[in-house]
Structure 1
Amino acid sequence: MVKSHALAAAKQTFALAPGLTLARVVVVRNDLRRPCILSFAVTRAAVESIRWDVAGADEIVASVASEVLVERDGVFGDLGPVDALMNEVYAELAAGARRALADMAAGEPEAAAEYPAGFAVVDVETSGLSPEYDRIVEVAVVGTDRNGNVVDEWTTLVNPDGPVGRTDLHRISVADVADAPRFSDIVGELTRRVAGRVIVGHNVQFDLRFLHAEFARARLRMPQVVSLCTYQESHGYLPGLRRRRLPDCCHAAGVVLTDAHAALEDARAAAGLLRVYLGSGHDLVDTHRRLPQHAARIGWPRVTGTGAAVKVRPPAVPPPIPAPAGALAALLEDLPISDLLSEEAPLSAAGYVELLAEALEDGVLTAEEAAALAEHARFAGLTRSDVDAAHRGFVLALARTAVADGRVSVDERRELNNAADMLGLPEGLVKRLLSEADSEWVAQLSRACRPLPGGWAHGEPLRVGQKVAFTGGDPVRRERLEIAAQAAGLRVMNNVSRLTTVLVTPEAQPDSRKGEAARQHGTRIVRPGVFEQLVANVQAAAPEMSVAPNAEPEVAVAAVTGRRVPGVPASPAIIRAWARENGYVVGPRGRLPQDIQAAFVAAQGAI
């Protein structure tokens, strides 16, 4: 290990001094009670020729270093003093190294306490999404050891010298922060708690961007730190989640989160995730356990504490009651963000889409939120095409969620169009995406259908995508049948029209508005017992059924036949289905190869 650190020091020296061709490394014990234990010289050319990934430290020193001085003590081969082996020049080098170490120790009597090894789980609540314009209003740090066990906690409200932003979200008012310390008052204590540690957070880049901005306002330079994001790493440790917000990951990992959007509670929850990750036995654990040794080498600014008293937010009693969710918020709640990105999208795009979902949850995208999103995209290294693809995938995922229950409400359609407009997507895209999502939904459910049982005696079976309605009867049984109908791929409607396939009612001639409409349109009327048999044996969609609600005729033809109609682009879902039927290998997501698209167009032209 000593030789490994010495070689790393030589490598860093050459990196920092381009004109240097030779370096001598002298190692002394850090407790000052033992003399020099290692000395060698190494050239830049020798260091650049090292295969760091395959060679061990002993092998490297033996092969590339010169003037090596080393002694081994005892049966375990510990490095012993080599001063007696040195000539006058080397001895002076060792003495100088010991004096420098003594000076450092004298100037930093609390160095070990000030730079603890391990992780610092950080969470900030802010007045908005843009570090350039918005400020931190609360910060928390939960310190852990290398195994993720909590060793200390600290939190305070912060006076932003301005607006506090969305009080409805973080529940921090202007009055709460009026007598709270400013960031410049607590930056010394904050630095003491994070320096030397790996910075951890859920979507940690968001927190780091705000910390960098606040350090700059305090006329300090925050270093580029070693960090670990519990959101990004959840793809490895918690695979298969539809959403990866902090509450989603905590629920999947069995971690308690009692008060979301309170900095200390969020930091505690992320620390719980870290502990679960590090104790999981996953292949990633060894890599993440080594991060603290890299973090300990990061230099932080020396900041004298002001002694300002922290202010802790009062506990939320009674617990906050969330506002009723609108149609868009309801769609976002179960949005499978991990599935909406193409296979070519960078991993950092997932964090951008999570931030996008949070900004759009209230159905409004302000200029400040748009600017913050653009800034986050730049920070994450996303290109214009990456962002455009993320926006389209985001609205497509919303459309898939909207059609998952077999119907798209007026509110859902309005919110989808509103979201597409806010994101600058083409007019009419929502209608096409709904058609595409509905076709995928019908096709997926149709593939799961089983043949009718022998001796079928209930007439024409129901098919995926058909519309059914209910009237009268026991409310509990009716609700159970409605849920079963939706699960089987039927569209449960609130009225009866010429497109309704069956009306379910316990009455032979129902005396209701739906019953009257059914008689007028010739809609089939069935009893609940018969419907139970029908819904248990729903068949694959007939061609005329595989269309989105309210789809235009030519779009419907393309959706059900896979045949390209002039002027109407075929959806990727249709091309994928055609490709699989014709022996092409295609994935469920991502860009379709040009040769498959060309083959599809040629095949349609030959029909």
Structure 2
Amino acid sequence: MGSPGFATIDFETTGLFPGKHDRAIEVAVVHSDPDGTITGRWDTLLNPGRDLGRQDIHRISAAEILRAPTFSDIAPELIELLDGRVLVAHNASFDTRFLLAELARADIWTSQDLVTLCTMQLARVYLPGSGRALVDCCAAFDIQLEGAHRASVDAGATAQLLASYIAHSEDRSGWTDHLDRAAAYSYGRVPSRGVAWYPREDALSGNDHHFLERITDNLPEFSGPDAHNDYLALLDRALLDRVLSLHEAEGLVKLAESLGISRPACEKLNLEYFWMLGAAAWSDGILTDAETGDLVAVATLLRIPPTQIDKVLTPPDVAPASPKQPGASLGGFALNPGDLVTLTGEMSLPRERWYDILVANDLVPKDAVTKKVKLVAAADPDSISGKAKKARDYGIPVVSEQGLANLLGI
């Protein structure tokens, strides 16, 4: 019958259990001819609508997936890439379970009887005595695997591994049998949503623009002191953890546009905020290494000119002046005994350990986000978990794990 060949697939996921709550966050597909020659590559990040799980493994940040399509958005193009081809993966059981679970969530029916090949299982035949991990199998054939746990990298390496297996086969009948059965299998057709795929490279380049560049440059200036104070207050809250998340940056842009604050005015306010921080740091007449590092970190986030940084770091000739804006909030946020704090995402410290730390600081861990919660700490400050989303709706600050530690002085 003949077949167009193989489709090697790899998913990066939030965890190991698609039947529960874990989701796919990246998928890559590599096409190969029946002889193993690679003929095409595709990959995209996926927005799962929840926190990203073990980010230390897949190294995908929440900021990168905010503009990514959902699985349902790209499912029509994905199944078209798989249709009529042998589905190949390293540990195919894992990837096919996620594929079927995501298709089911997208209300796309497909038979469970997929035509698959597992390069991990085939290692028993072609690499007896070798390790089963992808890195071990690739090393046996001198296949480069740099940047593992990235879907495009793992799928590409697996496709090369498949080609090596095929090249070392004396009898091709087994491969032909799979190709023939795959040619008779169809995932069906689903109308395209016209949503473009979103590779990691696009996400990385798309997040390069500083928030000031997104504020209108020539906006007619009609804002006054009250609007400026609102901007400074939001800026202060956004910089609680010295991380300017994409959500916080977008919030500053929207506020500036709604209040009629132009980009030049925002630059002046950012500089004023930086000088206020400097004045507070110098208030005791000493600038410690920690305070210097903090000022430099803020200056980097706000793109403060080097000449201004040098001026703030230079000991003042007179006592620092108080902030010019009487209503500006500078370091006004503090956690007080009895405040409710919610955690979200898989942090570096176990959740139970963080609960103990919060209780030891007279704070109350709260599993759910209500309007009474004072702060939400997230493994990733751009988290799109349900808790983080609700916190932003309520105007509750969302800070990083390190930001929480800094607020507690630990």
Using structure 2 for the length normalisation, give the TM-score.
0.48
Identify which of structures 1 and 2 has the higher relative contact order when contacts are C-alpha pairs closer than 8 Å and 6+ apart.
2
